Amino acid sequence: MSQSEALRVVRPNPWIGAAVYTGLLVAGIGIFLLICRAGSGLTVPAASDTTAAASGAIRHEPVNIVLHVLGTLAAVIFLGSLLGKVCRRLGQPPVIGEVLAGIMLGPSLLGAISPEAMHVLIPSATTDPKGQVTSALKAVSQIGVVLYMFLVGLELNAARLRKQAHAAVAVSHASIVVPFVLGSALALGLYKTLAPAGTTFLSFALFMGVAMSITAFPVLARILTDRRMSRTELGVVALSCAAADDVTAWCLLALIVGVAQSKLSNVAAITAGAAAFIAVMFLIVRPLVTRLSARFDATTAPLPPMVISGTFLAVLLAAMTTEAIGIHALFGAFLCGAIVPHDGRIAREFTAKLKDPVTVLLLPAFFAYTGMRTQIGLVSSGEDWLWCAAIVVVATVGKFGGTLGAARLTGQSWRDAAALGALMNTRGLMELIVLNIGLDLGVISPTLFAMMVLMALITTAMTSPIVSLLVPPAPQEEPAS
């Protein structure tokens, strides 16, 4: 008798089956009721378990973290993909729509119209006194952003970048120094009215300078890909500059973290730590990864489980290391992606695996988290709006002007220098990350946070129209020459 014959289910007489089943059920319920009757006299001594009180304490309607986090994610994904589609129609990067979706569902719009509706997503302090939902959303958003930066690193063509390094570094530094100086000058005017109590001018000015100098590497990459410019010379220079900007900006941000926490002695340690980390990644890890990646390029067999868990582990460890050093988890994740050969199988498979779950599912948590903290309503008086306008103007003049000047000096034409300036003025996601850090540190007030978020959105929205005017759209992705 073969196995499959033996296993063929012999249909018994349906009446017998039903009778057995009903009998079983009735007997089960009957026995259970008898057990309950027997147990009804039992009582639990009050101190039967030392930790019982602790677990008993949360019985009174604890906030449902899972429901709130899933609901917030769903709302932001829904509204974000709608607004993202609208943005795409208007020739804008979809990220603007996604950020707007987060802001609209937060206190700035939904919360202003109906706080109850907003509390359905993010519970109020009364129902969630420990801020558990906020912590949860923050953790999910950070994991999303860490994986996103890893993807951005994976897509980076390091070999191509190195060729452009000279021009990129000069342009990049100019595009940081000029907005940094202008931003810290603006801090003179903003400090009295918009700095939070207890912040020193030094840390406030440093933060405003860095916040003005940010370029959104990921958004820039997305704009270039959308416009099919990511492999043109202009695109590569812009990406290289933005990458160099990122490294510089994170280093400056590390300085601020040190200053804001009044631990200037830490700054030397942070700088040394960052240098050591970069050296280890490039001199030790990179050759190993290159060799490992090459081994899988020749075969089509699935990557072994150890390589998959090893890669995720490497991203987590790199992110943790930079977070522990003080230059934020994102930098480590990005660098971890950047050292993987971008055309090898590891890079291709991880990009294919991670792209949708990260950008569609996890990144919206970041947009929601940022939107939750953005209170546009705080920007109320005419004076506030004037300061907001001043911030936008200073940010644009500094970044656009600084890049334009430096690009001209390194030999670019006026048109290309201007296009590069416009591209570097994109602040999107990165600016939001930096602003969240500033708010966490208590270096900027919620009002200033809202103004800076508006600045990030406006400068990001400017980029596409200006680039369209300056660079005719490429018919298709230009192959590398």
CA dihedral 187, 218, 145, 329 (to 10 degrees): -60
- Only one of the segments 247-255, 268-276, 322-330, 390-398 lies at the binding site for a second copy (rule: CB under 8 A); that segment is 322-330
3-state secondary structure of 157: coil
- Three-class DSSP labels, 44-101: CCCCCCCCHHHHHHCCCCCCCHHHHHHHHHHHHHHHHHHHHHHHHHCCCCHHHHHHHH
Q: Which of 412, 436, 459, 464 binds a second copy (CB under 8 A)?
A: 412
Q: Which of 109, 158, 312, 390 binds a second copy (CB under 8 A)?
A: 312
CA dihedral 87, 93, 95, 98 (to 10 degrees): 0
> Where in 12-41 is the site for a second copy (CB under 8 A)?
12, 17, 20-21, 24-25, 27-28, 31-32, 35-36, 38-40
Angle between helices 264-280 and 233-260 (to 10 degrees): 140
Q: How many CB atoms lie within 10 A of CB 121?
A: 23
In contact, 129 and 343? CB cutoff 8 Å: no
Tell me, rounded to whole angstroms, the distance of Cα 466 from its chain centroid.
26
- Does position 304 interact with a second copy (CB under 8 A)? The reply is no
> Where in 418-457 is the site for a second copy (CB under 8 A)?
439-442, 445-447
- Does position 225 interact with a second copy (CB under 8 A)? The reply is no
Report, in Å, the least distance between residue 198 CB and a second copy.
5
Q: Which of 114, 124, 127, 193 binds a second copy (CB under 8 A)?
A: 193
Q: Which of 251, 267, 278, 308 binds a second copy (CB under 8 A)?
A: 308
Q: Which of 280, 284, 317, 469 binds a second copy (CB under 8 A)?
A: 317
In contact, 206 and 197? CB cutoff 8 Å: no
Q: Which of 194, 270, 335, 423 binds a second copy (CB under 8 A)?
A: 194
Report, in Å, the least distance between residue 284 CB and a second copy.
19
Q: Which of 33/284 has CB closer to a second copy?
A: 33
Q: If you write DSSP's letter for every residue of 334-365 in order, what string do you get?
A: HHHHHTS-TTSHHHHHHHHHHHHIIIIIIHHH
- Does position 409 interact with a second copy (CB under 8 A)? The reply is yes
Q: Which of 9, 283, 298, 301 binds a second copy (CB under 8 A)?
A: 9
> Where in 233-292 is the site for a second copy (CB under 8 A)?
233-234, 237, 260-261
Q: Which of 209/341 has CB closer to a second copy?
A: 209
Q: Which of 144/428 has CB closer to a second copy?
A: 144
Report, in Å, the least distance between residue 40 CB and a second copy.
6
Q: Which of 252/458 has CB closer to a second copy?
A: 252
Q: What one-letter code names the amino acid at 304?
A: P
Q: Which of 148, 150, 180, 296 binds a second copy (CB under 8 A)?
A: 180
Q: Which of 407/457 has CB closer to a second copy?
A: 407
> Where in 328-367 is the site for a second copy (CB under 8 A)?
329, 352-354, 356-358, 360-361
Number of residues binding to a second copy, judged by CB under 8 A: 140
Within 8 A by CB and 6+ apart from 94, the residues are: 83, 84, 85, 87, 88, 222
Q: How far apart are CA 303 and CA 146, in angstroms?
A: 22
Angle between helices 94-105 and 446-470 (to 10 degrees): 160
Interaction mask 128-167, a second copy, x per CB under 8 A: --xxxx-xxxxxx-xx--xx----------------x-xx
Q: If you write DSSP's letter for every residue of 425-460 in order, what string do you get?
A: T--HHHHHHHHHHHHHHTSS-HHHHHHHHHHHHHHH
> Where in 88-107 is the site for a second copy (CB under 8 A)?
none
- Does position 6 interact with a second copy (CB under 8 A)? The reply is yes
Q: Which of 290, 191, 139, 216 is nearest to 463 (CA)?
A: 216
- Per DSSP, 400 falls in state I
b/e burial code for range 163-202 (CB count within 10 A of at least 16 → b): ebeebbbbbbbbbbbbbbebbbebbeebeeebbbeebeee
Report, in Å, the least distance between residue 140 CB and a second copy.
6
> Where in 363-402 is the site for a second copy (CB under 8 A)?
378
- Does position 122 interact with a second copy (CB under 8 A)? The reply is no
Report, in Å, the least distance between residue 407 CB and a second copy.
9
Q: Which of 73/424 has CB closer to a second copy?
A: 73
Report, in Å, the least distance between residue 434 CB and a second copy.
15
